[in-house]
């Protein structure tokens, strides 16, 4: 038995206590059980082993947020795991709610995150166009096909009537639903209204007898939608399709093999399967991903400004850290450890390990994820070069007019700083904060600050200059640490602690930060000499 058969068999058996009122597998006897098992297993295996095509289909009514990124990431990983294609399709049919720039930004953010689509509005592809607003003829043709086959009908109910139905339902404590009134219109009545140019929508005719389907994550499901819902609109009065029609039409014509989407759509899947059946199309395999939630179990809200991907990018969060934390808090992987890159996420991905439990995201841990990924990038020569260029830009932006020596922008200098600080900083932005300004701008300090520490400033400055001259270019943190302790013993009345405070003041103008030895190694012999010559001159003037 192949490993995939075993995996699918386990998944099938584990999920065989069926949802939505479907009979448990243990109650199905002999040959029937065998046939059901074989059918489910062969379908799951064949679709994964065949051409895998998955899609991420956000609406550009807003910018990409963490929940959307996670859905896109699982689709991307699934596609790459099985040698398939990852498609970006933008569902822009709700024209009244479109946000300017959101469509372009969604694709920008996927590329920034390192999960670029293989086919998209920008990339193009054989199954395009990838904007739903450019596929209206296809939806209209499909809707007409449903009308002609008796699976859909014209509805002429006014918005006022629908609002009254809703109010009455709420008044009586019922769930609002359309009463299917126009389903019963005669053909001549419909033709008369159409001839008069009456405003109308097209509704899909829901029927009882929904077949169960096996969700890759939630197992067997069935929702008798006709019992709880009115017939849904598939073409709106403005000619645009609703999600329910557009998504199945696009998935069919784009040859989508697996639909991996949020679990909020699970209850709508039976409705979609009725449409597939009405059109005579084979549906894709469905897998509904558990929700991504705050660590306290509350729902992620778009009103939380910090959940948008652009916000993380602006704050200096590495895309690798963002992908890592959104998978680390959930399921679907053989291991859970900090520091996984996209290639490792793909290799360790195991769809059978995705659970139905919500993923609880603790964003307070994000700096730690970022610190580890930043350290990995610093240790990789090629990625470190990219970090150097990024930091060069940030330094020039923050300290434009203050830089006295352009040497601080040289690659070798910045690379040395990065290697000394790796493991200590969580983002590059920290290095352009006031705490690290001494690395790029020569500090200022007063004679009063010096005098408050020691009367031997001139002597100590001379000792440092001599030490640096002796050591030359060969400076190391460990060796300098020992040298400074020995040097401090050559003072007459100044204790080691005050000596270090003086050195720190001369080097950075601050009384906090990395060790004095690390500061000196970062700055290098020439700059150390320059700063202690300044201390000598300040002492001479007093």
- Rg over alpha carbons for the chain, rounded to the nearest Å, is 33
Residue 393 included in any domain: yes
Q: Which tens digit of pLDDT belongs to each residue from 499-536?
A: 999 999 999 999 999 999 999 999 999 999 999 999 99
The whole-angstrom separation of Cα 414 and Cα 536 is 28
Give the residue from 276, 218, 222 showing the smallest Cα distance to 247: 276
In 231-302, which ranges are E strands? 233-235, 258-262, 285-289, 292-294
| Neighbour count for residue 436 (Cβ, 10 Å) | 20
Q: Are residues 349 and 203 in the same domain?
A: no
Structure confidence at residue 419 (pLDDT): 98
* CATH number (domain holding residue 368): 1.10.1160.10
pLDDT at 160 > cutoff 50: yes
Residue 39 included in any domain: no
Q: Are residues 97 and 175 in the same domain?
A: yes
Q: Are residues 286 and 198 in the same domain?
A: yes
Contact 402, 442 (CB under 8 A): no
Residue 357 included in any domain: yes
Contact 282, 255 (CB under 8 A): no
Helices 525-540 + 496-508 axis angle, to 10: 110
Residue 45 included in any domain: no
Residue 44 included in any domain: no
Query: Quick one: CA torsion of 493, 496, 502, 506, rounded to 10 degrees?
Result: 130
Confidence of residue 400 (pLDDT cuts 50, 70, 90): confident
Q: How many domains, in total, are found in the chain?
A: 4
Q: Are residues 365 and 384 in the same domain?
A: no
pLDDT at 49 > cutoff 80: no
* CATH number (domain holding residue 512): 1.10.10.350
Tokens at residue 537, please?
A: 């001159």
Residue 314 included in any domain: yes
Q: What DSSP letter does each residue of 347-377 carry, written as one string?
A: HHB-GGG--SSPEEE-GGGHHHHHHHHHHHH
Q: Are residues 117 and 228 in the same domain?
A: yes
Residue 236 included in any domain: yes
Structure confidence at residue 40 (pLDDT): 40
- Range of the structural domain that residue 425 is part of: 380-436
The whole-angstrom separation of Cα 292 and Cα 71 is 9
Q: What is the DSSP letter of 268?
A: G
Q: Are residues 413 and 368 in the same domain?
A: no
Residue 456 included in any domain: yes
- Half-sphere exposure for 490 (CA within 13 Å, toward CB): 15
How would you label 490-520 residue by residue, b for 16+ Cβ within 10 Å and e otherwise? ebeebeeebbbbbbbbbbbbbeeebebbbbb
Q: Are residues 250 and 313 in the same domain?
A: no
Question: Which pTM was predicted?
Answer: 0.85
Q: Are residues 367 and 469 in the same domain?
A: no
In 73-211, which ranges are E strands? 85-88, 152-155, 201-204
Q: Are residues 317 and 388 in the same domain?
A: no
Q: Which tens digit of pLDDT belongs to each residue from 443-495?
A: 999 999 999 999 999 999 999 999 999 988 789 999 999 999 999 999 999 99
pLDDT at 496 > cutoff 50: yes
Q: Which tens digit of pLDDT belongs to each residue from 287-296?
A: 999 999 988 8
């Amino acid at each position: 038995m192949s490993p995939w058969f075993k995996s699918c068999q386990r998944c099938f058996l584990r999920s065989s206590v069926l949802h939505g009122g479907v009979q448990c597998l243990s109650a199905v006897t002999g040959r029937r059980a065998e046939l059901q098992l074989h059918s489910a297993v062969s379908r799951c295996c064949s679709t994964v082993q065949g051409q895998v095509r998955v899609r991420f289909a956000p609406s550009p009514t807003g910018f990409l947020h963490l929940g959307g990124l996670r859905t896109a990431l699982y689709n991307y990983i699934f596609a790459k795991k099985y040698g398939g294609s990852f498609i970006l399709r933008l569902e822009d049919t709700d024209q009244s709610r479109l946000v300017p720039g959101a469509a372009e930004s969604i694709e920008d953010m996927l590329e920034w995150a390192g999960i670029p689509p293989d086919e998209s509005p920008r990339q193009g592809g054989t199954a395009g166009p990838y904007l739903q607003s450019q596929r209206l003829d296809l939806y209209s043709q499909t809707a007409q096909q449903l009308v002609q086959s008796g699976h859909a009908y014209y509805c002429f109910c006014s918005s006022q009537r629908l609002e009254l139905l809703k109010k009455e339902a709420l008044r009586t404590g019922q769930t609002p639903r359309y009463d299917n009134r126009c389903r019963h219109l005669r053909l001549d009545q419909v033709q008369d209204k159409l001839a008069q140019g009456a405003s109308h929508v097209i509704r899909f005719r829901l029927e009882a007898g929904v077949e169960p389907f096996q969700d890759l994550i939630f197992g067997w499901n069935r929702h008798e939608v006709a019992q709880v819902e009115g017939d849904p609109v598939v073409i709106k009065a403005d000619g645009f399709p609703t999600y329910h029609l557009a998504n199945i039409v696009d998935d069919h014509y784009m040859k989508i093999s697996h639909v991996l989407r949020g679990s909020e759509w699970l209850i709508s899947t039976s409705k979609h399967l009725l449409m597939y059946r009405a059109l005579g199309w084979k549906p894709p395999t469905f897998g509904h991903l558990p929700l991504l939630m705050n660590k306290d179990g509350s729902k992620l809200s778009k009103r939380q400004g910090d959940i948008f991907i652009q916000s993380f990018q602006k704050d200096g969060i590495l895309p690798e850290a963002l992908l890592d934390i959104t998978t680390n808090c959930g399921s679907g992987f053989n291991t859970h450890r900090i520091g996984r890159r996209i290639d490792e996420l793909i290799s360790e991905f195991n769809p059978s390990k995705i659970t139905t439990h919500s993923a609880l995201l603790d964003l307070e841990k994000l700096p730690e994820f970022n610190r580890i990924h930043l350290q990995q990038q610093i240790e990789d020569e090629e990625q470190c070069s990219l970090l150097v260029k990024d930091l060069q830009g940030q330094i020039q932006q923050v300290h434009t007019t203050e830089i006295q020596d352009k040497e601080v922008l040289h690659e070798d200098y910045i690379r040395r700083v990065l290697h000394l600080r790796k493991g200590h900083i969580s983002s590059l932005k920290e290095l352009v904060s006031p705490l690290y300004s001494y690395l790029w701008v020569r500090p200022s300090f007063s004679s009063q600050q010096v005098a408050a520490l020691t009367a031997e400033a001139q002597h100590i400055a001379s000792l440092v200059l001599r030490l640096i001259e002796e050591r030359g270019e060969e400076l190391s943190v460990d060796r300098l640490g020992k040298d400074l302790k020995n040097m401090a013993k050559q003072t007459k009345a100044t204790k080691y602690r005050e000596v270090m405070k003086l050195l720190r003041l001369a080097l950075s103008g601050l009384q906090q930060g990395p060790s004095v030895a690390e500061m000196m190694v970062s700055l290098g012999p020439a700059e150390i000499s320059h700063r202690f010559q300044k201390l000598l001159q300040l002492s001479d003037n007093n």
